[in-house]
């Protein structure tokens, strides 16, 4: 049994390492469908304990509903020196500000985002949709039926969040982005809302939900 557990741990570790996205338990169980669920869960728990006790530059973390092997935070600056990101891959300050509004007020419409930020944001929202950080989740049942936007699993993955409950306080996020907190966000802590976010009363799912179109 010990050898079987060790082999299963090694297999799970290899799958997590090879997966381009955080590997969820659901996908893990589907991939290892010849193994009993309890054996997979036992091996995964043992693997996590091993990594917790392991020194080195890597760590096994739970992020975006799955598991991923990543560099330790204290080494990020050194690792960045190895990579030279193209400026086109970076988000602009305007995009980051818009993303922050969506993250804390989702689901939210384009006009509502523009009102909070004080500028037209349709182009910026389109960029965030293209980057798969934001998606359309429905339409609000008001005149014009504007799209409702919310963040994606890719957003959680990119910012190292397990779920939306891990969002920092809005003031801390604003400070990290070098922006002032818009009054509409500062009025209360949006994290107090029930998570995950559900479409508010007066909203309806639209045929374009998830399509990436921007209105």
Task: Render pLDDT for 52-76 as a digit per residue (tens, 0 to 9).
Answer: 998 899 999 998 889 999 888 888 7
Measured distance CA(102)–CA(120) in Å, rounded: 14
Q: Where are the beta strands (DSSP E) in 38-83?
A: 58-63, 66-71
CATH (residue range 2-80): 1.10.10.10
Architecture of domain 87-204: Orthogonal Bundle (1.10)
- Sign of the CA dihedral 12, 15, 21, 24? negative
Q: Where in the chain is the domain with CATH 1.10.10.10?
A: 2-80, 87-204
pLDDT at position 196 over 50:
no
Which residues have C-beta within 8 Å of that of residue 130, sequence separation ≥ 6? 212
Contact 185, 173 (CB under 8 A): no
- For residue range 159-173, list pLDDT tens digits in order: 888 888 888 877 777
- The pTM of the full predicted model, rounded to 2 decimals, is 0.52
Q: How far is CA 20 from CA 15, 66, 69, in A?
A: 10, 11, 10
């Amino acid at each position: 049994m010990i050898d079987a557990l060790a082999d299963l741990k090694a297999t799970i570790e290899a799958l997590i390492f090879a997966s381009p996205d955080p590997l969820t338990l659901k996908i893990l169980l589907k991939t290892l469908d010849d193994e009993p669920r309890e054996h997979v869960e036992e091996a995964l728990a043992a693997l996590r304990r091993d990594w917790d006790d392991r020194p080195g530059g890597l760590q096994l973390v739970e992020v975006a509903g799955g598991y991923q092997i990543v560099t330790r935070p204290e080494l990020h600056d050194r690792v960045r020196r190895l990579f030279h990101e193209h400026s086109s891959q970076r988000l602009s300050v305007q995009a980051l500000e818009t993303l922050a509004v969506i993250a804390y007020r989702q689901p939210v419409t384009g006009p509502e985002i523009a009102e909070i930020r004080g500028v037209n944001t349709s182009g910026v929202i389109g960029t965030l949709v293209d980057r798969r950080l934001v998606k359309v989740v429905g339409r609000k049942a008001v005149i014009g039926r504007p799209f409702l936007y919310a963040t994606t699993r890719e957003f959680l993955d990119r910012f190292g969040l397990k779920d939306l409950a891990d969002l920092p306080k809005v003031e801390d996020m604003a400070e990290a982005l070098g922006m002032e907190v818009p009054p509409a966000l500062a009025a209360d802590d949006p994290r107090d809302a029930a998570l995950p976010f559900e479409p508010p009363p007066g909203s309806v799912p639209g045929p374009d939900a998830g399509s990436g179109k921007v209105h």
